[in-house]
Amino acid sequence: MSLHSDYHTYREIRQQPRVWREAYDLICARKEEILAFTDKYLSEGYSVILTGAGTSAYIGDALETALHFTRFRGARAIATTDILTNPYLYFDTSSKVLLVSFARSGNSPESVGAVRCVEQTAGQVAHIIITCNAEGRLAQKQGDNVLCLLLPPATNDQSLAMTSSYSTMFLCCSLIANIDHVDQDAPLVEEVAACTEQVLDRYEQELCELARRDFQRAIFLGSGPLKGVAEECRLKLQELTDGAVMCAYDSFLGFRHGPKAVVNKDSLLVYLLSPSANVRRYELDLMRQIQAGNTVKGILAVCTSNPGLAPSEYDLCIETGMTPSMPPYYGCITFVVAGQLLGYFKSIHCGLSPDSPSISGNISRVVEGVTLYD
């Protein structure tokens, strides 16, 4: 354990339940301010756009469906990297936009440029900025149409890979989307935090052992909001291994339609199983079809509780212990921890430093080299 504590990445993964509790208190303390701000723009018909780049974009990809039963219903995820190059495909002078920007540093060219593009393209714009860095350019943005939510300093991950920054921004947006009753959601947030602590304590060593297997590719599958979480898990493993493990993600049903060709004997399959029994019927069918027709390096299942899988159907089954009725906008974030730890341990197994795994220099903590054009 002392070896792991030398790495920012490990500490930042392990700190997540603690900083989630801190973020919840932060949002509750600003409830009336947030409620007034969101009420103003939602009542005026502003469309909620969730944006960010890379991992920050994947927050929106998961929340787009997870927020369906909240005041942010109908929110649309559009990456800053898409807005920057093609703003007129998304906005025009008739657009009224409530832009929710996710940013760990708030200094990446795309984050800053996308805000400018939306302001130049849409007719009316208001901003909710969710960031981890008080010194970032986004955190400095001011105005009556700006609500900036600065998360606890510990969320400004020092590692190359975003871990606690991802999950805490995810939670923060979910809390804002439920701000009208956020003070009543304390038991839900505590359940998510406590279950995640149990996952970290119970399955760390088993994930370490799974990471030692000689897989060269990994496929992450999820349905609904968990497809967005699978997208983030895919990136964590790929970037923490400097591309030595090539990764893919998809929905369970979508995977059948061509992408399943990627499965081979060198693959690890990671199944993020839905808490919904109706959805799981489709997921379990695919799992068993793949197992019947393929030999793979390993199978990891992540679920609220084992849905009746036999030991022969997986190498590791992580049970989060959350109640199946947990709203997805809270419950999803526990699933990502498995992908984070898997990536962390595989990075070490590959002989890399998880804090700075990019030997080639192809990726960096804050993206550089992007020129912003008028």
Is the residue at 37 inside a domain? yes
Give the tokens for residue 63.
Answer: 């929340």
Q: What is the pLDDT of residue 105?
A: 86
Is the residue at 153 inside a domain? yes
pTM of the model: 0.94
Q: What is the pLDDT of residue 167?
A: 98
Does residue 14 sit in the same domain as residue 76? yes
Does residue 141 sit in the same domain as residue 272? no
- CA–CA distance, 145 with 127 (Å, rounded to integer): 6
Does residue 87 sit in the same domain as residue 211? no
Count of alpha carbons within 13 angstroms of residue 213, beta-carbon side: 21
Does residue 224 sit in the same domain as residue 305? yes
Does residue 87 sit in the same domain as residue 192? no
Does residue 203 sit in the same domain as residue 146? no
Is the residue at 14 inside a domain? yes
Is the residue at 336 inside a domain? yes
Listed residue (253, 41, 23) closest to 150, CA to CA: 23
Bridge partners, 48 (sequence order): 98
Does residue 155 sit in the same domain as residue 27? yes
Q: Tell how far CA 292 is from the center of its chain.
A: 31
Give the tokens for residue 265.
Answer: 């004997």
Domain carrying residue 267: 188-349
Residues in the chain: 374
DSSP, res 181: G
Q: Which residues, other chains included, contact 259 with Cβ-Cβ below 8 Å and sequence gap of 6+?
A: 248, 250
Q: What is the pLDDT of residue 110?
A: 79
Does residue 141 sit in the same domain as residue 228? no
Bridge partners, 222 (sequence order): 272
> Do residues 51 and 80 lie in contact, with contact meaning Cβ atoms separated by under 8 Å?
yes
Q: What is the CATH number of the domain that holds 47?
A: 3.40.50.10490
Give the Cβ contact number of residue 292 at 10 Å.
Answer: 7
Where does a domain end: 126, 149, 183?
A: 183
Is the residue at 166 inside a domain? yes
Where does a domain end: 183, 205, 239?
A: 183
DSSP characters over 17-68: HHHHHHHHHHHHHTHHHHHHHHHHHHHTTPEEEEE-STHHHHHHHHHHHHGG
List average pLDDT for each run of 10 residues in the chain, which is 374 residues long.
75 98 98 98 98 96 97 97 94 97 85 90 97 91 95 94 97 98 98 98 97 97 98 97 96 94 96 97 95 93 95 96 96 97 96 87 57 65
Is the residue at 365 inside a domain? no
Amino acid sitting at position 134: A
Q: What is the pLDDT of residue 300?
A: 98
Q: What is the pLDDT of residue 368?
A: 60
